[in-house]
Amino acid sequence: MIADRIRAALSAPDPAAFAALLHPDAHWGESCRNRDEVLAWYQGLLDQGVRLTVREIQPDGDRLLLTVDIDGPDGSWTAHPIVRLDGDLVIDIQPAE
């Protein structure tokens, strides 16, 4: 199931596993417009010591509503990104509406 794979890849952290989940045209926010840019951004977070723990994934049609605990050098917080799927691949990641 894609939700389990997303949880495992982001919580590991495992950039290779995350890459396997991304559509070639994946977007993350306004700045990342393809898989390579998304992976570079994610790797940059990891390099800065940021770690993600996916606490909850709620399916909603072709979207997954995530609850993610984020720990990094600047503190800890919880985010609620919305992941849109194209089949079994992530095509878009956006902040909660």
38, exposed or middle or buried, with CB in 10 Å at 0-12, 13-18, 19+?
buried
- Look at the domain 2-94 and name its fold: Nuclear Transport Factor 2; Chain: A, (3.10.450)
46, exposed or middle or buried, with CB in 10 Å at 0-12, 13-18, 19+?
middle
Q: In this predicted structure, what is the pLDDT of residue 97?
A: 63
The answer to whether the beta carbons of residues 69 and 52 sit under 8 Å apart is yes
Whether the model clears a pTM of 0.95, i.e. scores above it, the answer is no
Q: In this predicted structure, what is the pLDDT of residue 47?
A: 96
Strand partners, 70: 52, 77
Q: Which of 23, 27, 45, 52 is nearest to 37 (CA)?
A: 27
* Chunked mean pLDDT (size 10), the chain, 97 residues: 93 92 96 96 96 96 97 97 97 89
Provide the residue ranges of all domains of the chain, joining segments of one domain with +: 2-94
